[in-house]
């Protein structure tokens, strides 16, 4: 039986990043951020502003993570430089099915099926437990997919869902990209969502029990032994979820250079390997269990539930 807490955790994983920049103060992006989108010039300007944080941070790679919570809404963003040419990012992420290939990689996503075309394109996503679970038992979220901009130097796509599990609502996922140089691309991944009292209560119950010792990436202080103290609670959860989805995008893009028959296993293994670089935050399952589970789930994505 699914407890009320589990569906909420799933909803949170599609939500937003953390409420602080990672580890040290750094320039905050302009308010245009997570949901409204920008253009090539604005995205380049954000890169220039955030360059010190991108070049020096605890992630060990050019990533800047920032978010905020206001009332019953969360907004979050990741700015990053990825080692993929702009054409690879644009062509790789312009179709709805490619987003199912991305979304299926994190633990909690149990199923994703793309259908329709043009303004009628939809992604039917099922989210549930981190461990193996029949997709029919997972919670549904129906996203509307929209390719909003595609030019020689700028790309933007959004996924929107008016409702989610346990009273969560107004999900919006945005990805925009512009070339940095011939081999690198600046990407901006944004999330926003709203939640009601039931969702907050369920998440707080989880964070007081099974999730009590889980942390995010932002260093908020030092322990008595001098070790970093990381953000916890809902902000810690949104940081973990943000990193999972960024790693999924990067792993998917990296798999496109492999022969078609090898791409699935490459992105599954690359996502898992990338998550192991942050064991305190992202380690959940053994490799064999994760790989087998994702192979099964990916094999069913052509089926509508």
pLDDT tens, per residue, the chain with 305 residues: 344 444 445 444 444 333 333 333 334 443 334 545 679 999 999 999 999 999 999 899 999 987 777 778 777 789 999 999 999 999 999 999 999 999 999 999 999 999 999 999 999 999 999 999 999 999 999 999 999 999 999 999 999 999 988 788 898 899 999 999 999 999 999 877 787 777 777 777 776 776 667 888 888 899 889 899 988 877 777 788 888 989 999 999 999 999 999 999 999 999 999 999 999 999 999 999 999 999 999 999 988 98
- Whole-angstrom CA distances from 298 to 176, 209, 244, 293 are 25, 31, 17, 9
Task: Look up tokens 């937003």; give the residue.
Answer: 16
Q: For the whole model, what pTM was predicted?
A: 0.87
What domains can be seen in the chain, in order of their start residue? 5-294 (3.30.530.20)
Provide the pLDDT for residue 168: 85
The number of angstroms, rounded, from the C-alpha of 254 to the middle of its chain's C-alpha atoms is: 16
Which of 173, 223, 166 lies closest to 9, judged by CA? 166
């Amino acid at each position: 039986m699914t407890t009320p807490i589990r569906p909420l955790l799933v909803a949170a994983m599609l939500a937003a990043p953390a409420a602080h920049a990672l580890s040290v103060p750094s320039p905050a992006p302009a308010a245009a951020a997570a949901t409204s989108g920008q253009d090539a010039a604005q995205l380049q300007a954000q890169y220039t502003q955030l360059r010190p944080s991108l070049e020096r941070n605890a992630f060990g790679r050019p990533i800047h993570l920032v978010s905020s919570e206001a009332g019953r809404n969360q907004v979050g963003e990741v700015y990053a430089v990825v080692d993929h040419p702009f054409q690879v990012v644009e062509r790789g992420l312009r179709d709805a099915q490619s987003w199912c290939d991305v979304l299926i990689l994190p633990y909690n996503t149990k199923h994703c099926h793309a259908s329709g075309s043009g303004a009628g394109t939809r992604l039917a996503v099922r989210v549930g437990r981190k461990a193996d679970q029949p997709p029919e038992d997972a919670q549904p979220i129906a996203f509307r997919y929209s390719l909003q901009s595609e030019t020689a130097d700028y790309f933007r796509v959004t996924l929107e869902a008016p409702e989610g599990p346990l009273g969560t609502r107004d999900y919006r996922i945005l990805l925009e990209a512009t070339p940095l140089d011939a081999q690198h691309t600046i990407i901006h991944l944004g999330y926003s969502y709203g939640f009601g009292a039931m969702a907050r209560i369920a998440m707080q119950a989880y964070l007081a029990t099974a999730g009590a010792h889980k942390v995010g990436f932002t260093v908020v202080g030092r322990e008595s032994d001098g070790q970093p103290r990381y953000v916890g609670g809902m902000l810690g959860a949104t940081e973990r979820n943000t990193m999972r989805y960024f790693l999924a995008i990067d792993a998917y893009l990296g798999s496109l250079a492999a022969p078609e028959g090898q791409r699935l296993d490459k992105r599954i293994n690359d996502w898992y390997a990338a998550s192991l670089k942050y064991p305190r935050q992202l380690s959940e399952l053994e490799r064999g269990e994760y790989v087998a589970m994702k192979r099964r789930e990916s094999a069913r994505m052509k089926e509508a539930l």
